[in-house]
Amino acid sequence: MPRLLETLRAAQKTFSRKFAICIVLSCAITGAANAQSESAQDPAAEPETITPFVLPKSGPFEPSGIKIENNAAISDWFRSAHARSADEAFRHWDEEGEVDERCASCHSGEGFRDFHGLDGTTVGAIDGTIDTGGVVDCGTCHNAGLADVREISFPSGLVHPVTGVEAACLTCHQGRNAGRDVSAKIDGLPLDTPDASLRFINPHYATAGATWLGGYGAAGYHYDGHEYSGRFFHARPVATCNSCHEPHTLEVAAEPCQTCHLAESIADIRIARQSYDGSGNLRVGIKSDIEANAATLMAMIEAYTDQVADSPVIYDGSHYPYFFADQNRDGAIDTADGQSVAYASWTPRSLRAAFNWKLVTADPGNFAHNPVYVLELLHDSIMDLGTAIGIDVEKMNLRR
């Protein structure tokens, strides 16, 4: 009797499965027949796809449980300077309602794509209105058309070949003026005579690309009779910006440096067994020498403007044009109508030294990007000003 019951139950299950399959097939055949009939009546109609069963996806869903491709990269980018939409670099033009076309190629992802023609517009120019509020977004560096950008023009006139995302880095981190702009302004003018037509020439900010290319890029003012070191190749694996900088956070990876340099931090790395600032201290990083020589140059600019130009200058990096007048020598910036008075007693000698000082200090990573080149610019500027104010720079034991 038990065996008979088991046999009957097995037969019932088999029958149920076969019956269900028949029902499904019947539905499918009927649907297909109806679709064929409709197609026959309307030749333009496309055949309908029949899905016998639609199984619901499992749920409910939580946003945190949904995987987003590149989520980590987006999070990294969001905390970088490229994404800080509230910073002055992206809000400076709010009152005007649009980004100045001279600035848009670097201060807006939309402007960058316009400048390089990645949006179908003319290459090398801003054709449309660039709205404020944009940042250096994903499409700036990940646009497929960036692979077609093969060269970047620098303010010095250099046309440098690039590949891939290097085009994005060097477009925006090259500065807006170069030594040749200073040369053009001071050409033919007496070296130590203040000229009211001269104004400070700003190399701009975050000039890492210009520093990196060194004398080859000719970003600085090059004094006659001197040669300047070219592109800083460093160790051969360090070939591009991304060799050291994480492309989304922009942070510097210290590990590759520590493969060869025994230092606790990048700033502690020393590239030579000689002192450039005259201190003789070889236990500190080359960054220390650069900062010391930059401070020496600024002190000499201040001394020169006071003693030779007879119009002291005060530097204030918080607002443009950074160099201001102190005609009454009270140690405070002169004001007129509530505004700071820009320095207007530049001589060719002081202008070219101030340009080099600003170029060097505008790149906070100068000690890694091209320490040799920036030390040369600082040294030659110091030597030149020393001649005018009677300081024997040779006795300072500075090295070029």
State the Cα–Cα distance between residues 326 and 307, nearest whole angstrom.
Answer: 13
The domain boundary, picked from 148, 167, 189, lies at 148
Residue tagged 């690039």 (tokens): 162
- In a domain, residue 190? The reply is yes
One domain, residues 379 and 267: yes
pLDDT for residue 182: 98
- In a domain, residue 158? The reply is no
pLDDT in tens, 148-182: 999 999 999 999 999 989 999 999 999 999 999 99
One domain, residues 257 and 388: yes
- In a domain, residue 319? The reply is no
- In a domain, residue 37? The reply is no
- In a domain, residue 4? The reply is no
pLDDT for residue 193: 98
One domain, residues 106 and 195: no
- In a domain, residue 28? The reply is no
The domain boundary, picked from 148, 168, 203, lies at 148
Q: Are 167 and 148 in contact (CB under 8 A)?
A: no
pLDDT in tens, 232-244: 987 777 788 988 8
One domain, residues 198 and 265: yes
One domain, residues 374 and 241: yes
One domain, residues 95 and 205: no
The total of structural domains in the chain comes to: 2
One domain, residues 293 and 369: yes
| Residues whose CB falls within 8 Å of the CB of residue 324, separated by 6 or more in sequence, listed in order | 313, 314, 315, 316, 333, 334, 340, 341, 342, 343
pLDDT in tens, 217-231: 999 999 999 999 999
Which residue range forms the structural domain that includes residue 117? 72-148
Distance set, CA 236 to CA 164, 256, 268 (Å) = 18, 12, 21
pLDDT for residue 65: 72
One domain, residues 257 and 398: yes
The dihedral through the CA atoms of 183, 321, 384, 371 has a sign that is: negative
Long-range pairs, 321-327, Cβ under 8 A, ≥24: 321/199, 321/200, 321/202, 322/200, 322/202, 322/358, 323/200, 323/354
DSSP class of residue 330 equals S
Across 296-325, average pLDDT: 97
One domain, residues 259 and 385: yes
- Work out the pLDDT band at 5, boundaries 50, 70, 90: very low
One domain, residues 126 and 260: no
Residue 281: pLDDT above 60?
A: yes
Across 348-373, average pLDDT: 97
Distance set, CA 149 to CA 130, 294, 341 (Å) = 21, 36, 43
- Mean pLDDT over each residue of the chain, to the nearest integer: 87
pLDDT in tens, 51-80: 565 555 666 667 677 677 788 999 999 999
The residues that bridge with 82 in the sheet, in sequence order, are: none
One domain, residues 186 and 138: no
Length of the chain: 400
- In a domain, residue 16? The reply is no
The domain boundary, picked from 130, 148, 166, lies at 148
- In a domain, residue 161? The reply is no
One domain, residues 111 and 203: no
